[in-house]
C-alpha cells in the first residue's frame, strides 16, 4: 500500500467532509429538514469525492482504463451508498441526542476505514504500477461525457447554492479573492523585499568559460527573424558552443534556406537539425528531442543545452554568465531573464492601409493595441525578476520557455525517467520540466540582469495573445492533471504547486469578479462586515494597478524607452479588460482540455522588438561590457 495513496485518500476525504458539513449547516440554517439536508449534501459530495479519487488517489490503479470509468462509478456509488444509507438512517436519531456536528463526524469516521478498503480493493480496480510511468493522455482522463456532465453538475450546484446563500457565498469568494490579491502582491514585490536581490554583484564576475554547450533554436516559418537571430547567436562571447536551428525542411523551405546559409557562413558554429518527417504533428518538444538525438549521433561534446526561441536576442555575454553560474552554484538549471520590449505603439512599423485617411487609420490601429501590449510587457517584467526568484527559493518552479539552460546530467536523468528529455504531448513542456526538476531535487538558479535579458516581442495581435495564453493555460492544466507535483517532498510544496499551476486562473477570476462581488454585497444589503470584506480585494486590485504604473516608469528608464501619457493611460484603463481577456482564455483552455483538443498553436513573430527603442545589437559590445 502506497503512503501517497493513504495521504491523498485522507486529504480528499477530509476536504470533502468539511465541504459537506458546511453545506449541511447552510441547508439546515435555511430551514431544510435535517434528513433532507443530509441527503442533499451526501449526493453532491459523493460525486465530487469520486472525481477526486479517480483522478488523484487511485490514478495508478486506473491508468489507461478510462473506458471503464462508468463501472468504477457504479461500484463506488454502491459501496459508498451502503454507508450513506446508514448515515441517512442514523443521523436523524443521533443529531437530537448528541448534536448536529458530533453526529455528522461520528458517522463519517465510522465509515472511513470501510470506505478505504472498498475503494482500494473493489471500486477502483487495481492496475499494476510501472516505474517511470508515462502520464495518461488528457483526452482519456477528462474528455469523457460522464466526467463532463459531473463537472457541469457541480458548477450548477454551486451556482444554485450561491443564489440561496448569498452572504455565505460572498464571504467565501471574498476571502478567496483576498488570498489571491495578497499573494499576487507578495510574488510581485519579492525582489524588493530582500536587499540581496538588488545587489549589483550578486551574480559574481564571470571568469573564462570552461563548459562546452549547445543552443537549440526551434524555427518554423520564421523568415522575418531567422537570419538576425542566427547571426546574433553565432557571435556570442564563448569559445566552445554550437547553435542548432531545428527546421522542418519540406514544410518550411524559406526558413531552411536561411538556416543553411548561416551554417555555410559559420561552419564551426551553426549546425542545422532536421525536424522529424515521420509525424504530422508540429510542436517544440518534438524538435528539441530530435536535436538531442542528433547530438548523440554526431558525438558533439556538450555539458549544457540552452533553449532559444526564433526571435530571441541573446546578450553577447550571456553564455559566459551561464557557464560561470553552473560551476559556481552547482545548479541543474539556469533560468535567465526574458523581456518583451515593444510595449509602446509604433505606427511606422505598420503598412499603410488602402483607402481613405491611411495615416490616421494606421495610427489608430497601432495605438489601439498599446493597452494590452503594455500589460503583457509588465507581466514578463514582474515574472522573471521577482516571481521566479520566490518560486526558485521554494523549489516549485515552472520554467520559462527560452533562455533556459540545462546541465547534461539533469537531461540524462529526465531521459532515464521518461525515455526523452521533453514531453512531446505537453503544451507547456517548460512548465512540466521545471516541476519535475523540483521533484528530482535539482536546483534552479534564476539570473536576471537588466543588461542581459533576452529581448522578445509581444504577439502581433490581441487574438494572437489570446491563443498564446490558451495554449499556456491548457498546458498548466495538463501538468496539474498529470500529477507530477504530487511527488514533491513537502506538503507545503504541493499546496504551492496547486497555486502556481492555477495562478493565472485564480488571478483572472479574482480581478474580474471583484467589482461584481462588491456590487452584489451592496445591492443585496449584506451585513456591513460582509460588504467591507468584499471591498478589500478591489482595493488591493487598484493598488496592484498603481504599482504597475510605477513599474512601467521603471521599465522605460531601465531600457531607455520613452513612456508616454497614453502608455500610462493604457495600463490604468486596460487593467480590467486585460484580466477579462485572461478569463476568456482560461475558459477556452478548460473547454479545449475537456474536449481533448491538444494541438499546438504557433505564435507569429514579425521582428517588432528589433526596431523597438532601446534595442542594442550585442555584437558591437566589448566582452567586458557584455559581462
Q: For 265-314, list the strands marked E by DSSP.
A: 273-274, 304-307
Q: What is the pLDDT of residue 131?
A: 35
Q: What is the pLDDT of residue 129?
A: 37
Q: What is the pLDDT of residue 212?
A: 96
As a whole number, the mean pLDDT across the chain is 81
All three cell numbers of 183? 499573494
**DSSP character at residue 276:** P
Tell the residue number behind the cell numbers 540581496, with chain if given: 196
Sequence-distant (≥ 6) Cβ neighbours of residue 3 within 8 angstroms: none
Using DSSP's 3-state secondary structure scheme, residue 245 falls into strand
pLDDT digits (tens, 9 = 90+) for 166-195: 777 778 778 888 888 888 888 888 888 777
Alpha-carbon distance of 396 to 407, in angstroms, equals 18
Task: Answer whether residue 607 shows pLDDT above 50.
Answer: no
Residues above pLDDT 70, as percent of the chain: 82
Give residue 236's pLDDT band: very low, low, confident or very high (50, 70, 90): very high
Using DSSP's 3-state secondary structure scheme, residue 388 falls into helix
442 or 5, which is more confident:
442
Alpha-carbon distance of 456 to 341, in angstroms, equals 6
pLDDT, average across residues 283-312: 93
583 or 367, which is more confident:
583
Alpha-carbon distance of 285 to 293, in angstroms, equals 12
Q: What is the pLDDT of residue 127?
A: 42
Alpha-carbon distance of 355 to 20, in angstroms, equals 64
Q: What is the pLDDT of residue 620?
A: 37
Q: What is the pLDDT of residue 350?
A: 66
Angle at the Cα of 259 from the Cα atoms of 326 and 307, rounded to 5 degrees: 25
Task: Give Cα separations from 69 to 118, 144, 312, 432 (angstroms).
Answer: 16, 9, 45, 26
Task: Answer whether residue 163 shows pLDDT above 80.
Answer: no
- 521: closest CA among 174, 288, 282, 20? 174
Q: What is the pLDDT of residue 66?
A: 58
Using DSSP's 3-state secondary structure scheme, residue 164 falls into helix
Using DSSP's 3-state secondary structure scheme, residue 278 falls into coil
pLDDT, average across residues 304-315: 92
pLDDT digits (tens, 9 = 90+) for 95-140: 776 677 777 777 777 777 777 777 777 777 654 433 333 444 433 4
Q: For 136-224, list the strands marked E by DSSP.
A: 213-218
- 285: closest CA among 246, 251, 340, 315? 246
pLDDT digits (tens, 9 = 90+) for 470-527: 998 999 988 988 888 989 988 889 989 988 888 777 776 777 677 777 777 777 777 8
388 or 192, which is more confident:
388
pLDDT, average across residues 398-418: 93
Q: What is the pLDDT of residue 142?
A: 44
Task: Answer whether residue 623 shows pLDDT above 60.
Answer: no
Give residue 323's pLDDT band: very low, low, confident or very high (50, 70, 90): very high
pLDDT digits (tens, 9 = 90+) for 328-337: 999 999 999 9
Q: Residues of 295-312 as b/e, b for ≥16 C-beta within 10 angstroms?
A: beeeeeebbbbbbbbbbb
Task: Give Cα separations from 495 to 139, 476, 490 (angstroms).
Answer: 25, 15, 9
> In this predicted structure, which of 37-41, 80-84, 374-378 has the lowest mean pLDDT?
80-84
Alpha-carbon distance of 411 to 395, in angstroms, equals 18
pLDDT, average across residues 40-62: 79
Q: For 417-491, list the strands marked E by DSSP.
A: 444-447, 454-456
Of 142-146, 382-386, 528-532, 599-603, which one has max mean pLDDT? 382-386
Task: Answer whether residue 88 shows pLDDT above 80.
Answer: no
β-pairing, 454-456 vs 338-340, is parallel
Task: Answer whether residue 56 shows pLDDT above 90.
Answer: no
Q: Which helix or strand (DSSP H or E) is residue 142 part of?
A: helix 138-142
> In this predicted structure, which of 80-84, 216-220, 340-344, 414-418 has the lowest mean pLDDT?
80-84
pTM of the full structure: 0.71
Query: How remote is the C-alpha of 177 from its chain's centroid?
Result: 19
Virtual torsion, Cα 442, 448, 452, 453, nearest 10 deg: 90
> Edge-to-edge strands of the sheet including 241-247?
273-274, 241-247, 213-218, 304-307, 404-407, 333-336, 444-447
Amino acid at each position: 500500500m502506497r503512503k501517497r495513496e493513504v495521504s491523498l485518500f485522507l486529504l480528499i476525504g477530509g476536504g470533502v467532509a468539511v465541504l459537506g458539513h458546511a453545506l449541511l449547516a447552510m441547508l439546515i440554517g435555511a430551514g431544510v429538514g435535517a434528513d433532507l439536508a443530509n441527503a442533499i449534501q451526501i449526493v453532491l459530495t459523493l460525486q465530487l469525492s469520486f472525481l477526486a479519487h479517480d483522478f488523484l488517489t487511485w490514478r495508478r490503479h486506473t491508468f489507461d482504463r478510462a473506458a471503464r470509468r462508468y463501472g468504477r462509478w457504479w461500484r463506488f456509488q454502491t459501496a459508498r451508498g451502503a454507508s450513506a444509507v446508514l448515515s441517512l438512517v442514523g443521523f436523524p436519531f443521533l443529531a437530537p441526542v448528541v448534536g448536529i456536528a458530533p453526529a455528522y463526524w461520528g458517522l463519517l469516521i465510522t465509515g472511513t476505514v470501510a470506505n478505504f478498503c472498498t475503494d482500494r480493493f473493489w471500486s477502483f480496480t487495481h492496475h499494476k504500477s510501472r516505474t517511470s510511468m508515462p502520464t495518461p493522455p488528457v483526452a482519456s482522463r477528462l474528455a469523457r461525457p460522464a466526467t463532463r456532465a459531473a463537472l457541469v453538475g457541480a458548477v450548477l450546484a454551486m451556482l444554485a447554492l450561491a443564489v440561496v446563500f448569498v452572504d455565505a457565498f460572498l464571504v467565501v469568494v471574498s476571502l478567496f479573492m483576498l488570498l489571491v490579491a495578497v499573494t499576487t502582491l507578495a510574488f510581485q514585490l519579492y525582489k524588493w523585499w530582500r536587499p540581496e536581490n538588488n545587489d549589483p554583484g550578486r551574480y559574481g564576475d564571470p571568469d573564462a568559460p570552461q563548459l562546452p554547450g549547445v543552443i537549440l533554436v526551434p524555427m518554423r516559418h520564421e523568415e522575418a527573424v531567422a537570419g538576425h537571430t542566427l547571426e546574433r547567436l553565432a557571435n556570442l562571447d564563448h569559445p566552445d558552443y554550437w547553435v542548432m536551428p531545428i527546421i522542418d525542411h519540406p514544410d518550411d523551405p524559406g526558413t531552411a534556406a536561411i538556416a543553411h546559409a548561416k551554417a555555410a557562413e559559420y561552419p564551426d558554429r551553426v549546425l542545422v537539425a532536421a525536424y522529424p518527417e515521420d509525424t504530422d504533428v508540429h510542436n517544440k518538444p518534438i524538435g528539441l528531442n530530435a536535436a538531442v538525438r542528433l547530438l548523440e549521433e554526431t558525438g558533439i561534446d556538450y555539458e549544457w543545452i540552452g533553449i532559444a526561441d526564433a526571435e530571441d536576442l541573446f546578450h553577447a555575454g550571456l553564455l559566459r554568465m551561464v557557464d560561470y553560474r553552473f560551476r559556481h552554484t552547482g545548479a541543474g538549471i539556469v533560468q535567465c531573464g526574458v523581456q518583451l520590449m515593444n510595449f509602446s505603439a509604433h505606427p511606422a512599423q505598420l503598412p499603410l492601409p488602402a483607402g481613405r485617411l491611411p495615416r490616421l487609420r494606421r495610427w489608430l490601429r497601432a495605438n489601439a493595441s498599446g493597452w494590452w501590449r503594455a500589460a503583457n510587457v509588465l507581466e514578463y517584467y514582474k515574472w522573471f525578476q521577482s516571481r521566479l526568484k520566490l518560486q526558485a527559493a521554494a523549489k516549485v518552479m515552472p520554467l520559462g520557455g527560452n533562455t533556459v539552460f540545462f546541465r547534461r546530467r539533469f537531461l540524462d536523468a529526465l531521459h532515464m525517467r521518461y525515455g526523452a528529455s521533453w514531453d512531446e504531448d505537453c503544451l507547456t513542456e517548460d512548465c512540466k520540466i521545471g516541476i519535475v526538476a523540483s521533484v528530482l531535487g535539482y536546483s534552479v538558479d534564476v539570473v536576471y540582469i537588466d543588461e542581459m535579458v533576452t529581448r522578445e516581442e509581444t504577439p502581433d495581435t490581441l487574438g494572437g495573445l489570446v491563443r498564446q495564453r490558451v495554449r499556456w493555460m491548457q498546458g498548466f492544466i495538463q501538468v496539474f492533471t498529470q500529477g507530477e507535483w504530487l511527488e514533491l517532498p513537502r506538503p507545503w510544496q504541493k499546496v504551492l504547486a496547486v497555486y502556481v499551476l492555477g495562478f493565472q486562473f485564480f488571478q483572472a477570476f479574482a480581478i474580474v469578479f471583484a467589482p461584481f462581488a462588491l456590487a452584489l454585497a451592496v445591492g443585496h444589503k449584506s451585513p456591513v462586515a460582509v460588504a467591507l470584506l468584499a471591498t478589500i480585494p478591489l482595493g488591493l486590485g487598484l493598488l496592484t494597478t498603481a504599482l504597475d504604473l510605477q513599474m512601467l516608469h521603471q521599465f522605460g528608464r531601465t531600457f531607455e524607452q520613452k513612456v508616454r501619457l497614453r502608455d500610462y493611460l493604457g495600463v490604468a484603463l486596460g487593467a480590467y479588460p486585460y484580466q477579462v481577456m485572461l478569463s476568456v482564455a482560461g475558459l477556452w483552455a478548460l473547454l479545449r482540455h475537456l474536449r481533448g483538443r491538444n494541438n499546438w498553436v504557433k505564435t507569429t513573430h514579425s521582428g517588432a522588438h528589433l526596431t523597438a527603442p532601446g534595442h542594442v545589437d550585442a555584437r558591437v559590445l566589448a566582452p567586458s561590457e557584455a559581462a
